[in-house]
Chains A and B, each alone.
Chain A
Amino acid sequence: MTEKLTTILLIEDDEVDIMTVQRAFGKNKITNPFYVARNGVEALQMLRGENQAKIIPQVILLDINMPKMGGLEFLENLRADEQLKSISVFVLTTSAQESDKMSAFNLNVAGYILKPLSFDSFLEAVAVLKNYWKLCERL
């Protein structure tokens, strides 16, 4: 069986949070193609191939609070774009604020993951994510 590996795009501005995801991927032996954008504007440029090679991920991990263009605004843009609107998005944030959660689900996200304080809990969250896209790869 030839599995096509899911491409993953992480949109996150915090250096250590990016490292956290990379490290958790390493621990979970996740070797999928992995890209990082530092904010919503940068991510849209990557997805539309503006001034660079186009990246077409199947899964986006999205932070909410970011400079230039935050997560929710990015989601609005994504869902309004015919080419991009079907990409699965998981929100990955510290914001436990009810209004953020509601807005995210209204923009059709696949999951809302609160960044836990401990790395171990984050590893578990990533393991669950991995199961999700493994399933998608087999379909």
Chain B
Amino acid sequence: MYNKLLIRQLQKHFGKLDKVPSSYTAIFQAISESYNHYEKNRNMIERSIDLSSNEMLELNRKLKNEAVEVKKHTDNLRKINKELDQFSYVVSHDLKAPLRAIANLSEWIKEDLGDNLSEENKKNLDLLQSRVTRMQSLITGILEYSKIGRKQVASELVNVNDLLREILDFLSASPKFSTTIPPDLPTLKTQKVLLQQVFSNLVSNAIKYNDKEKGQIDIFYTEKEDCYEFSIADNGPGIAPEHHDKVFDIFQTLEAKHKVESTGIGLSIVKKIIEEQGGIIRIDSTKGSGAKFIFTWPKVSK
């Protein structure tokens, strides 16, 4: 039997099927075959179109759901950011106020008692005040850390040579230290305060932890294709490789906190700033042979 579509066409043409000349049977048989074939293909294609349009609908629905999710997340992030702002404010105000009170009250006790204060009491009061000062630096540090990346600072042209000289003059006032700066330092367009914070922290660490009679701080610089690479090398006690990651963690110090006055925030600020810019920082050091902090500063910041 012929294909239904072909039968209809033949009926239209010949009136009745039996009027079709028998000499054509073989040809129509072949045509019918190809009609069948065609129909089969068409059905298949239609089915797959149906299927894919269903899939499309499904995908569309998923996308819409995801858009809702994304919006929810964004709103949530916004809320968290606002809370963080609020938190910084609470930290800066509400924590500093009682701290100031403690600082003042202890000073007045010391002042009012004057000579009546025993040596031991005086020492304890001094200790108390130095801990208050540390707490103050901790609060300031936390605030600084939380501010990175949230406050947009305008870029300006920064002459790295001038910047480094300023920092070194300011920090290494003691004649114990000699420093070298490479002659070919670049002038770059960047957020000055951030680069300054990075250099200041690294240089002041190099000074603070130095244990040699003659301290040495050397700055190195190479220009790479898409970034500048700076290194700050010192001849201090060095850092054992197993501590290289740890020193960047917040509140992490290698020495007991009272031995060298530090909060453990400096290097985490440095790392956060550099990573916000799209650069990286690493340490080249072994225990006992000085430390070299190497960081990249992209030519175009993130």
| Chain A residues whose CB sits within 8 angstroms of the CB of B105 once the complex forms | 16
Q: Please determine whether B107 and A119 come into contact, CB atoms closer than 8 angstroms.
A: yes
Residue of A nearest to B95 (CB): A94
B252 within 8 A of A: no
Q: A interface, how many residues as a size bin? A: 10 to 19
8 Å CB contact of B93 from A17, A19, A20, A94: A94
Q: Please determine whether A117 and B93 come into contact, CB atoms closer than 8 angstroms.
A: no
Q: Please determine whether B103 and A65 come into contact, CB atoms closer than 8 angstroms.
A: no
1/0 per residue, CB under 8 A from A, across B206-249: the answer is 00000000000000000000000000000000000000000000
How many Å lie between the Cα of A17 and that of B100 in the bound state? 9
How many Å lie between the Cα of A19 and that of B133 in the bound state? 21
How many Å lie between the Cα of A95 and that of B100 in the bound state? 13
| Chain A residues whose CB sits within 8 angstroms of the CB of B104 once the complex forms | 16, 19-20, 23, 119
A97 within 8 A of B: yes
Q: Please determine whether A117 and B89 come into contact, CB atoms closer than 8 angstroms.
A: no
| Chain B residues whose CB sits within 8 angstroms of the CB of A128 once the complex forms | none
1/0 per residue, CB under 8 A from A, across B62-98: the answer is 0000000000000000000000000001001100110
| Chain A residues whose CB sits within 8 angstroms of the CB of B133 once the complex forms | 117
Number of residues in B with C-beta < 8 Å to the partner?
16
B99 within 8 A of A: yes
With A23-B108, A65-B93, A97-B89 in contact, do A117 and B101 touch (Cβ < 8 Å)?
no
Residue of B nearest to A93 (CB): B93
| Chain B residues whose CB sits within 8 angstroms of the CB of A19 once the complex forms | 104, 108
How many Å lie between the Cα of A96 and that of B93 in the bound state? 8
| Chain A residues whose CB sits within 8 angstroms of the CB of B93 once the complex forms | 65, 94-95
Q: Please determine whether B99 and A117 come into contact, CB atoms closer than 8 angstroms.
A: yes
How many Å lie between the Cα of A97 and that of B104 in the bound state? 23
8 Å CB contact of A94 from B97, B107, B108, B132: B97
Q: How many residue pairs at the A-B interface have CB separations less than 8 Å?
A: 42
1/0 per residue, CB under 8 A from B, across A109-121: the answer is 0000001111100
Docked complex: A92-133 residues within 8 A CB-CB of B: 94-97, 115-119
How many Å lie between the Cα of A117 and that of B108 in the bound state? 14
Q: Please determine whether B100 and A94 come into contact, CB atoms closer than 8 angstroms.
A: yes
Residue of A nearest to B107 (CB): A119
How many Å lie between the Cα of A10 and that of B169 in the bound state? 42
Docked complex: A9-28 residues within 8 A CB-CB of B: 14, 16-17, 19-20, 23
| Chain B residues whose CB sits within 8 angstroms of the CB of A16 once the complex forms | 100-101, 104-105
How many Å lie between the Cα of A54 and that of B105 in the bound state? 33
| Chain A residues whose CB sits within 8 angstroms of the CB of B103 once the complex forms | 117-119
Instruction: Say how far A47's CB is from chain B's closest CB, in angstroms.
Output: 25
How many Å lie between the Cα of A116 and that of B132 in the bound state? 13
Q: Please determine whether A117 and B107 come into contact, CB atoms closer than 8 angstroms.
A: no
With A23-B108, A117-B136 in contact, do A94 and B92 touch (Cβ < 8 Å)?
yes
Instruction: Say how far B91's CB is from chain A's closest CB, in angstroms.
Output: 11
Instruction: Say how far A112's CB is from chain B's closest CB, in angstroms.
Output: 15
How many Å lie between the Cα of A19 and that of B132 in the bound state? 19
How many Å lie between the Cα of A97 and that of B100 in the bound state? 18
Could you give 5 example pairs across A and B, Cβ below 8 Å? A20-B100, A94-B92, A95-B89, A95-B92, A119-B108
